[in-house]
Amino acid sequence: MAGKLVGFFFITIAAIIALLLILLVVFGVLAGVLAPFLGSVPVSYNFRSIRARWTSTIVAVLGIAGTVGVFVAMLSLARGFKATLVASGSPGNALVMRAGSSSEMMGGITLDSIKVLQDAPGIARDASGRPLLTQDVVGVIPVPLITTGTDANVQVRGVSPNVLEIRKFVKITKGRMFQSGLNELVVGKNAANTYRGLTVGNKIDFAGGHWQVVGEFDAGGSAFDSEVWCDSQIFNQVLQRPADVFQSATVHLASPATFQEFKDAVTSDPRMNVDVYREIDYYAKQSTTMTRLITVLGGLVAFIMAIGAIFGALNTMYSAVAERGREIATMRAVGFSTWNVILSFLFEALLISLLGGLIGCLAVLPLNGLTTSTMNFQTFSNVAFAFKITFDLLLMGVLFALVMGVLGGLLPAIRAAVQPVSVALREL
């Protein structure tokens, strides 16, 4: 009981401190940004003083730039990974798996169940009235990486031949779609760039069979871009799995609104024991582990670097105050108030950190779209994804820089303003 009270006490204190810090930062940023308008110390003074101590300024700028760069890069890595997996899937599709399976690989749906699904309400149908449904079988197959030559696990997905009508965001960009009943493969654009031998026209052996790569597809930046697709019945044969058992089924809904109708009908049917997800929700779940890993690691790194950068900024600003002792004293002797001196310094700190933030953002911008691949723990397969730098991420980076600037500039600014003028003048 006492322990809980103490804990509560500490949390409250921490919350208060955090709140104060936030207020301080907000105030600082506002004050600094409005300084040219609010304060009477001319802005040209700041520019001149920056130019006069340009080496120190460059140091502070680069320190902040480095931190912001790493911050934005790491967040964009996590974003990119998440985006890839989240983009996998359309809200107009529903995924059906055996009840209780946490991923497709663990699922099992029989052909009988598939037939029941095909009659369920809410499914879209093609011109001839056939239900738009693909029954999938997934496996991981070792294929050498182009980069290291060693094997990595590529996700191979056996699908129904009409899969392109269900996953409408996938388009064949080279060659053609595979033909039903043949050992033919189409490869996602990222898979083609990551693994050896996945080029159109190439013959490749895997899973104990001879295959031909007949086409390449673009899946709009989703996880499917890292996959290789083939006919699911052929894949079942090759993997020596029972011919009438698949791992999941994905249906194209008549409209995204019919999802609930479809789900209710299917889950209440006593002939099957399945779970139904919107395709998009399923894939979001599949990325949680890796996203969390990258976010936690990246966040920690950025946080630590930020502290270092704040120290650096503090150092520079304190030196600025020290080296300009006489100027400050003169300014105050001449009549500029404490408030104005603080504003002036805050503005300068913000200027420096803004510059650092912008440089940091610019420096990592080239990374945008750069693909890298890693293994997704949850599926054991390799997923290629790209750094995804969005405008809001850049904005966060710049804001981060400003916060560092305020934290680094406020204390020295106060010190400069508060020191008695006589003391300052005497320290010449």
Which residues contribute to the site for another protein (CB under 8 A)? Answer: 55-56, 59, 62-63, 66-67, 69-70, 77, 98-103, 105-106, 139-142, 145, 147-148, 150-153, 206-208, 238-240, 242, 288-289, 292-293, 296-297, 300-301, 304-305, 307-309, 311-312, 314-316, 318-319, 322-323, 372-375, 377, 380, 382
Cβ proximity to another protein, 123 vs 358, nearer residue: 358
In contact, 266 and 272? CB cutoff 8 Å: yes
CB of 315 to another protein, least distance (A): 5
**Alpha carbon distance 241, 228 (integer Å):** 19
Please give the structure tokens belonging to residue 12: 């409250």
Cβ proximity to another protein, 67 vs 135, nearer residue: 67
Cβ proximity to another protein, 170 vs 238, nearer residue: 238
In contact, 44 and 340? CB cutoff 8 Å: no
Cβ proximity to another protein, 5 vs 428, nearer residue: 428
CB of 256 to another protein, least distance (A): 26
Nearest to 404 by CA among 130, 173, 60: 60
CB of 74 to another protein, least distance (A): 8
CB of 302 to another protein, least distance (A): 10
**Alpha carbon distance 121, 372 (integer Å):** 41
In contact, 121 and 95? CB cutoff 8 Å: no
- Burial classification of residue 31, based on how many CB atoms lie within 10 Å of its CB (0-12 exposed, 13-18 middle, 19 or more buried): buried
Cβ proximity to another protein, 152 vs 186, nearer residue: 152
Per 3-state DSSP, the chain is made up of helix, strand and coil in percentages (nearest 5) of 55, 20, 20
CB of 49 to another protein, least distance (A): 15
**Enclosing H/E stretch for 109:** strand 109-110
CB of 293 to another protein, least distance (A): 5
Cβ proximity to another protein, 208 vs 270, nearer residue: 208
Neighbours of 208 (CB within 10 A): 9
